Structure 1
Amino acid sequence: MHRNLKQLQAALNITFRKPELLRQAFTHSSYVNEHRVSNFKDNERLEYLGDAVLELTVSEYLFDTYPERSEGELTKLRASIVCEPSLVNFAEELSFGSYVLLGKGEELTGGRTRPALLADVFEAFIGALYLDQGLDVVKAFLRKHLIPNLPHQGKLLTVDFKTHLQEYTQQHNMGMLEYKIVDERGPAHEREFVAQVQVNETLLGQGSGRSKKEAEQQAAAQALEALKVEIQ
C-alpha cells in the first residue's frame, strides 16, 4: 500500500525544499507509463546520480575510518556496502517500499518488495537528497541510517558463498554442484536474474540479483543457510 511522502519526511526528520524531487525519487517508470497525461518523472536519472553520490560518501567514510586498510580491502568493503542486497536491507529498514508510486501491473506482481526496485529507490532517494540539500546532509543521513547497520570493526561483508558451498559439498561428498539461470525479468535497464543451485539434481537454493553472478551468489547463500553451514 502506498503511503504519503509527508509521513516519510516526518519519520526521517528531513523536510525537502523541493518536494517534487522526493516524489520523483519514489516514482517508478511503470507509474509514469500509466499516467502519461501528468508531468510525472520516473526515478531512473536520480538513481544514476545517487549511485555516484553513495559511492563517493561511502568511499570517504571508509578512507577516514580504516586508515590501515589497503586500497584492495577498501574497494571490497565499499562493494559490499553498495551492492544490491545491502541497499535492499537499508531500504527495508526505512520502509521505503511502502512509499513507492507503482503502476498497477507492477503492484500486482509484487514490485513493492522486489529487491532491484528497492535498491534503485534507495539510490534515487540519495540522489534527490543530494540535489535538494547537498553532500553534508547526505553524509548525516548515512551516518544515522546506514553506518549503524554495517558490521563492526569493518569486517568485510563480501563473502564468496559459491566457494564456501563448493568446499562444503566436496568435503561431504555430496556430488556435483550445478547453477542454472531459471528466469530473467524486468526491462533491460532494470534486469533481474533468478538462479538456482542443485546438487545431483536436488534443489539446494535460489537467489536473485542484477547480474547472473550475483543471483548465483544469493542462491549459494540460501543453500548454505538450508544446510545450516555457518560462515565465520
Structure 2
Amino acid sequence: FLDSSFDTARRIVERHFDMAVGDLDSVKLSDYKSTLLEYCQKRFKVLPDIVLAGEYGPEHDKVFVMEVVMAGRIIGRGEGRNKKMAAQMASRDALQTLEEDE
C-alpha cells in the first residue's frame, strides 16, 4: 500500500474486515470439545468419552490420536501434535457425524 493513499488502504482493509466479521456471524465462537459436550448433554443426557486411541512418531515429533466414544460406538477421531489438539479434532469429527445422523 506504499504506492497509494492512506484512504485507499483504509477502504481495502475495511472491506476485507467487514467480510470477515460478516462470516463470523454464522460461526459459534466456542471450541469443538465444549460444543460437543454441551450438545450431547442437552440432546442425549449423556457425555461422550474422549479417549487416547494411540500415538505415533518419534518422541520429539509425536502425533496423538483421540477418539470420541458414545454408547460403545466411535463417533469421532482426530489427530494432533498434542492431546488437546487431537481431542479438538476428534470432537469436530464427532459433531460432523452427529449432524449427518440427524
Would you call these one fold, judging by a TM-score over 0.5? Answer: yes
Measured after TM superposition, the shift of residue 177 of structure 1 is 1.3
Separation (CA, whole Å) in 1 of partners of 2:46 and 2:73:
10
Conserved in 2, the CA contact under 8 Å of 1:205 and 1:219? yes
Could you tell me how far 1:176 is from its partner in structure 2? Answer: 2.8
Q: For residue 198 of structure 1, what is the aligned residue in structure 2?
A: 69
Structure 2 equivalent of residue 152 of structure 1: 20
1:191 Cα deviation from its structure 2 partner = 0.9
| Mapped partners of 2:56, 2:40: distance in 1 | 30
1 CA distance for matches of 2:45 and 2:95? Answer: 13
Instruction: Say which of 36, 49, 52 aligns to 1:165.
Output: 36
* 8 A Cα contact 1:174 1:199, kept in partner: no
Between Structure 1 and Structure 2, the one with more helix by share is 1
| Letter of the structure 2 residue corresponding to residue 152 of structure 1 | A
* Divergent runs of 4+, >4 A: none
Q: Which runs of 5+ in 1 are unaligned?
A: 1-64, 67-147
Unaligned runs of 5+ in 2: 1-12
Q: How many residues align?
A: 81
Q: Could you tell me how far apart the structure 1 residues matched to 2:55 and 2:33 are?
A: 20
Decide which structure has greater strand share.
2
Superposition pairs for residues 126-141 of structure 1, below 5 Å?
Answer: none
User: Per-residue CA shift, 1:76-98, capped at 9, x if unaligned?
Assistant: xxxxxxxxxxxxxxxxxxxxxxx
TM-score when normalising by structure 1: 0.31
User: Residue 214 in 1 paired to residue 85 in 2?
Assistant: yes
Shift of 1:159: 4.1
Q: What corresponds to 1:8 in structure 2?
A: none
User: Counterpart of 1:226?
Assistant: 97
Deviations 1:131-187 (A, max 9, x none): xxxxxxxxxxxxxxxxx9xx823848x741011111111111252311111111111
Note the 1:1-232 alignment, pairs <5 A.
Answer: 152-153=20-21, 155=24, 159-228=30-99
Is contact 1:195–1:212 with CA below 8 Å preserved after alignment?
yes
AA matched with 1:167: E
Mapped partners of 2:63, 2:70: distance in 1: 24
Shift of 1:201: 1.9
* Superposition TM-score, scaled by structure 2 size: 0.67
1:64-116 Cα offsets, whole Å, 9 max, x none, are: x69xxxxxxxxxxxxxxxxxxxxxxxxxxxxxxxxxxxxxxxxxxxxxxxxxx
